[in-house]
Amino acid sequence: MTTPLLSLYRRLSRWPCGRWLFTRAVCIKAPYFASISPRITLLEAGRCEGTLADRRKVRNHIGTVHAIALCNLAELTAGLMVDASLPADMRWIPKGMDVRYQAKARGTLKAVAVPELTIASATAGYELPVRVGIHDATGTEVFVARIAMWVSPRRGNG
């Protein structure tokens, strides 16, 4: 079964500039992410990839990509991956994030988000850890995040 988000991505990504348009639509739905001007380059069940261009607006005082811009890219790709992978009877919300800054982040950066456990339907809520690695153009992992997603059945407000 394909989620509505994944169907939209697949439909739009067939068009010229479709991935750009998909990313803009996501940023309209969740406007804060627009602050880093991300680009989603791949979305499938169990995996999301996105890029962040090294621009002045995402740099810190030493000229590297700011730590919080990296956190934003990690949360965006992790959230999209979970949303694209989740059974229709489940919902999710981020619960926490542990991050490691491993090297200076410069140039265009690529994030890859993957689940650490199988995403499945359940009768009770569970914590789903998602790993997001962010690499520079040389392949060096400059940042890694482990994001705890709370996945629970879709019913009521609980």
Rounded Cα distance between 65 and 109, Å, is 9
Q: Which of 46, 38, 37, 39 is nearest to 6 (CA)?
A: 46
Torsion angle, alpha carbons of 75, 21, 44, 143, to 10: -30
pLDDT in the model for residue 2: 87
User: If we measure between CA atoms, which residue out of 13, 123, 37, 29 comes closest to residue 79?
Assistant: 29
- Is residue 145 within 8 A of residue 97, CB to CB? The reply is yes
Query: How confident is the model at residue 36, as a pLDDT?
Result: 96
Give residue-wise pLDDT tens across range 29-61: 999 999 999 999 999 999 999 999 999 999 999
pLDDT of residue 155: 80
Environment class of 117 (CB within 10 Å of its CB; exposed 0-12, middle 13-18, buried 19+):
exposed
d(CA 45, CA 81): 7
pTM given for the model: 0.94
pLDDT of residue 67: 94
Gap between the Cα atoms of 73 and 79, Å rounded: 10
Predicted pLDDT at 156: 59
Q: What is the pLDDT of residue 158?
A: 47
Tokens encoding 66: 């700011």
Q: Note the pLDDT of residue 103.
A: 96
pLDDT value at position 40? 97
pLDDT of 73 reads: 97
Neighbour tally for 142: CB within 10 Å: 21
Residue segments in the chain with a per-residue pLDDT below the cut of 70: 1, 156-158
Q: What is the pLDDT of residue 157?
A: 47
